[in-house]
Amino acid sequence: MVQILILAAVAAFLFWRLSLVLGIRTGFEKSVDLKGLEKVKATKPDQENHSNIADEDDISDYIELTSSSGQQLKKIKSFEPAFSVHNFVAGAKSAYEIILMAFENGDLKVLKDHLTPDVYEDFETVVTDRINNGYTVDATFVGLREIRIRNVVFAEENQSAEITLYFKCELTSVVRDKNDKIIEGSSSKVKAHSDTWTFGRTIGSNDPSWKLIATGE
């Protein structure tokens, strides 16, 4: 009995650690493409200033333009003019939900498509342990209360970009054992949680997909 309780506690903790990050449905459920695919059109001199202002607004809507992260976003745009911060954030909301629901459902194929190998290994371990121990998870998003850019790093030498987002959400979650007994959570109690995810991609590469490369508090 003690061993079962310990396993249940470990499973609940790991679920809580990996899954409580992003929330509300945003209408982007079918796409996790964060590339911002607007075609880059040639601009005339009188259009260039307007384009620069639009680029600055795209950044300043989410973070101070003069901040370190704001300047890093400007560099990303200089290497890939089609990159849109707005589209990235919208896509991140979608990616979060898709990854999280795949985790709950034990869909390793979806997880593998959207995670780097190291992060996938962590998720796979939890999913496999949960299945082997007969645990099931029933979670419902209540709402995403906040999403903001926390940090941006861009390495010009290899054009690798990492964008870290902070999420604050509310949700309900229930973990049941193989006998359908609730061992963690409540379907009627809404919990608030905040967490941080980092997405990475090589700017200018043929692969437009951003992948989850790190999770944290």
Per-residue pLDDT reduced to its tens digit, 111-163: 998 899 999 999 999 999 998 999 988 888 787 888 999 999 999 999 999 99
Least confident of 95-104, 130-139, 194-203: 95-104
3-state secondary structure string across 48-98: HHHHHHHHHHHHHCCCCCCCHHHHHHHHHHHHCCCCCHHHHHHHHHHHHHH
Cα–Cα distance measured from residue 2 to residue 56, given in angstroms and rounded to the nearest whole number = 58
pLDDT confidence bin for 201, thresholds 50/70/90:
very high
| pLDDT value for 52 | 62
Q: What is the pLDDT of residue 53?
A: 59
Burial zone of 48 (CB within 10 Å; 0-12 exposed, 13-18 middle, 19+ buried): exposed
Which of helix, strand or coil describes residue 189? Answer: strand
The residue whose two tokens read 């949680």 is 193
Q: Which residues of 167-206 are buried (b: 16+ CB within 10 A; e: fewer)?
A: bbbebbbbbbbeeeeebbbeeeeeeebebebbbbbebeee
Q: How confident is the model at residue 12 (pLDDT cuts 50, 70, 90)?
A: very low
Pairing of strands 211-216, 160-176: unpaired
Report how far Cα 61 is from the mean position of its chain's Cα atoms.
Answer: 19
Model confidence pLDDT, tens digit, residues 20-46: 333 333 333 333 343 433 333 333 444
- Write out pLDDT tens, residues 44-87: 444 444 456 568 899 999 999 999 999 999 999 999 999 999 99
Average pLDDT over residues 187-209: 89
Domains contained in the chain, CATH given: 2-37+44-216 (3.10.450.240)
Beta 182-202 vs 211-216: how paired, if at all?
A: antiparallel
CA 199 to chain centre: 7
**DSSP SS3 for 22:** coil
Distance CA 55, CA 70 (A): 11
C-beta of residue 215 within 8 angstroms of C-beta of residue 193? no
Residue 75, pLDDT score: 96
